[in-house]
Structure formats: structure tokens, C-alpha cells
Amino acid sequence: MSVRVLVTGGTGLVGQGIEYVIENEPANSHFGKRDGEEWFFIGSSEADLRNQEQTRKLFEKYKPTHVIHLAALVGGLFANMARKLDFLRDNILINDNVLHTAHEFKVKKVISCLSTCVYPDKVEYPLDETKIHLGLPHESNFGYAHAKRLVDIQNRAYKDQFGDNFTSAIPTNVFGPHDNFDMESAHVLPALIHRCYLSKKNNTPFVVWGSGKPLRQFIYSRDLAKLFVWMLRNYDSVEPLILSVGEDEEVSIKQAADAVVNAVGFTGEYRFDTTKADGQFRKPASNKKLLELVKDTGFAFTPFDKALDETVQWFLRNYNNARIGKPQ
């Protein structure tokens, strides 16, 4: 039976991670491409998924049997704070079009991508798969969080009413090659890599936004990619699945910035701009359910420093083509 996997958001950080894993892991292994599979990695130039007609045409063209739905308006804390309505509306439209078109085209499985940002701000830690809807999200990203939470509700409604096999993955903060390195809108690691690179090049102070005290769990995009491939082949429950390193692997923003300084080889002045927001203090997520499920696959997380080093090397090699925002 032929398997046709459409990856929306296939040109982005996570999508490119999946393409890398599919092409570079041994064929027919747990994570490599299998005989009979075809993979299609789609960006916004092929279809604006906020538009229903363009979404339909995309599905008509590729006739997917499976969808990994990553496409989203995505950004770091400061983009989320500045554009709450865009994050709400664009993501509601994209998700509704993709899920409903997948339903109409009788797609066998859809895995959509949520985020630990969608969790309640005030809830008992660690976060697990049962706690998404137990309170309001942090105000800094309530647009994005509410749009993404709705995907879980839609998945359950499609299953209840039609028996569709739609589910969702919940990654923590992702980083890796092909990230958005635009310092204004990016997530913390790509923003700091870019800023530290410029500080080294121009011999200027390296400035980290906020107090450096908040804690985050970081997952390497190529590790996350393996987990998506595993989910596509093995996970058939509507219940979401957290894809994360362990809750004991939280890293402070200061530790992350120190690691960036090391990886970039910066030796100049380094300080924190405490006039900038810290966002949510922490959001530790449990990967207990995940580890039990993947225990026989040989999956292992890449050590943080190694993954960061690979990301910095990719950034340096691809500076001219990477997403770096306005020229500096």
C-alpha cells in the first residue's frame, strides 16, 4: 500500500528536521524512509493554508494518505506579545482548513503540532498530556495558545463525530538548522546565536534580553523529527503526546546564553537587558509517556551542547541564505 505523507510547514525548522531524518537515517529503519513511502515537504509558496481553496488544491495535487501538520505562524516571546491577533487568527484559519480538508479527503492520519506554550500559566507541574485545558495560558502568548488548544478540541470532535484518526504532538522549545534567526521575532536560541555572532564580528557587547532566570526545556529539531516519524507509524490515539527531554533537563536562559557564547567562541562583554520581558517563568513538561512508548526503538536525545554546536555551525555555513531578518 502506498503511503503519501504531506508535511505542511515542511520548509521550516521542524519540517526540515523531518526531511533530514527521512533522507539520512538508514532506509527502512525506525526513522528512515521506508519502501512504499513518498514524502512531500510543503511551504507557503505552494499554498497559503489560511485560504480554503488553496488548501483544497494542495490536497488535490498531493492526495496525501497521511499529514504531519506543522504549518503555523510561529515566533518567539516578543513576536507573540506584539501580534496576538495575528497569532490567533492565522493559526485558527490554517488549522481549520488543514483539518477539515484532511477530513474531506479521507486522510488516514493527521498529526498536528501544538506546543508547551499552550498550557495554563498556573497549573501543577510537571505538565502532562491531561492538563492542556485546566486554566488560562500565560498572557504573553494567549493568541497563539488559544488557537493551538483548539486543535486538540477539533481532533476530539472529528474522532467523536466521524471516527477520524487525528492527533497532536506537543514539543517544548525547538532549535536546530533552518530555524528563524531574525533577532526581533525568533525564539531565544536562534536570536542569541545571531546576536552573539554579530557581537563577535563587530566587537560589541552581547546583550541577552530579560533577567536570564526563566527556565526552558530545549529539544533538537532532528531528535524531534525522529519522534514525529515514530508517531506517524506507531501512534493511533487522539490523546496528545508530549515530545520533550526530561523535566530534570530544564536550562536557564543564562545557561543557554553561556552555551551560545561557548559555541560561537565569543570572549567580549556580555550582559542582560532587564527592561525586556521574561515571559513565563517555567513550563516543565513530563516525557514519561513518550519514553515508555519509544523504549524499544533505540531513540536517544542528542546532548544539548552537541546539538547547539551543530546548529551554530549550520548558521555560520548558511548565513547568506538563512532566515536572518533585516541585514545588520
Q: Would you tell me which residues interact with ligand NAP (CB under 6 A)?
A: 9-15, 43-45, 47-50, 70-74, 94, 113, 115, 171, 173-174, 180, 187
Q: Beta strand 215-216 with 251-252: parallel, antiparallel or unpaired?
A: antiparallel
Specify the residue, 23 or 160, whose C-beta has the smaller distance to ligand NAP.
23
Question: Do the beta carbons of residue 290 and residue 226 sit within 8 Å?
Answer: no
- What does 279 bind: ligand GDP, ligand NAP, none (CB cut-off 5 to 8 Å by kind)? ligand GDP
CB of 47 to ligand NAP, least distance (A): 6
d(CA 260, CA 20): 23
- What does 113 bind: ligand NAP, ligand GDP, none (CB cut-off 5 to 8 Å by kind)? ligand NAP
Specify the residue, 177 or 212, whose C-beta has the smaller distance to ligand NAP.
177
d(CA 165, CA 102): 10
d(CA 58, CA 69): 13
- What does 64 bind: ligand GDP, ligand NAP, none (CB cut-off 5 to 8 Å by kind)? none
Would residue 144 show up in a list of annotated catalytic residues for this protein? yes
Binding site for ligand GDP (CB under 6 A): 76-78, 117, 173, 186-188, 191-192, 208-210, 214, 216, 253, 276-280
- What does 253 bind: ligand NAP, ligand GDP, none (CB cut-off 5 to 8 Å by kind)? ligand GDP
Specify the residue, 34 or 121, whose C-beta has the smaller distance to ligand NAP.
121
> Which of helix, strand or coil describes residue 143?
helix
Tell how far CA 262 is from the center of its chain.
Answer: 25
One-character DSSP codes across 269-320:
-EEEETTS----S---B--HHHHHHTTTTT--PPPHHHHHHHHHHHHHHTTT
Among the listed residues 62, 144, 158, 220, the single catalytic one is 144
Q: Active-site positions?
A: 144
